[in-house]
Amino acid sequence: MAIKVNKKNFQAIVLNSELPVVVDVWADWCGPCHMLAPHFAAAAEEMKGKARFVKLDAEKNQKLTKQLQVMNLPTLLYFKDGKLVDRNSGVVSKGAIISRLSPLLNKEDRPEKAGSWWQFWK
């Protein structure tokens, strides 16, 4: 299960993490955010112990969301060593999340590359 972050714990949980972190910036009123949720949860389960997955409620953390320059919901932010290194907006699959995350992982934690283009949608 993803950890909920806010302005008070963002530094400790995201920026000080030894693992790569994927931040799901979402809002309860956002339909696409709810469509992304099962893919995000599945990626979090598959990458447990290799990366940290957290959720940031954009409505309750508007100042932090603005500081992170989030313009659309849902947005996924990818952090490594306390630095924002990648982002994407919109609904994406579990496979797409893991593909974006893979370069940030230690070599031994990286999943095997998909053999066919259709595996992108897994």
pLDDT digit string (tens) for 62-71? 999 999 999 9
- C-alpha 122/C-alpha 118 separation (Å) is 8
Domain assignment of residue 110, given as a range = 3-121
Confidence grade of residue 96 (pLDDT, cut at 50, 70, 90) = very high
13: CATH: 3.40.30.10
Catalytic site residue 33? yes
Residue 19 CB partners (closer than 8 Å, separation 6+): 50, 51, 52
Q: Which of 33, 43, 47, 54 is catalytic?
A: 33
Q: Which of 3, 13, 19, 30 is catalytic?
A: 30
Domain count, the chain: 1
Catalytic site residue 86? no
pTM: predicted TM-score of the whole model, two decimal places: 0.89
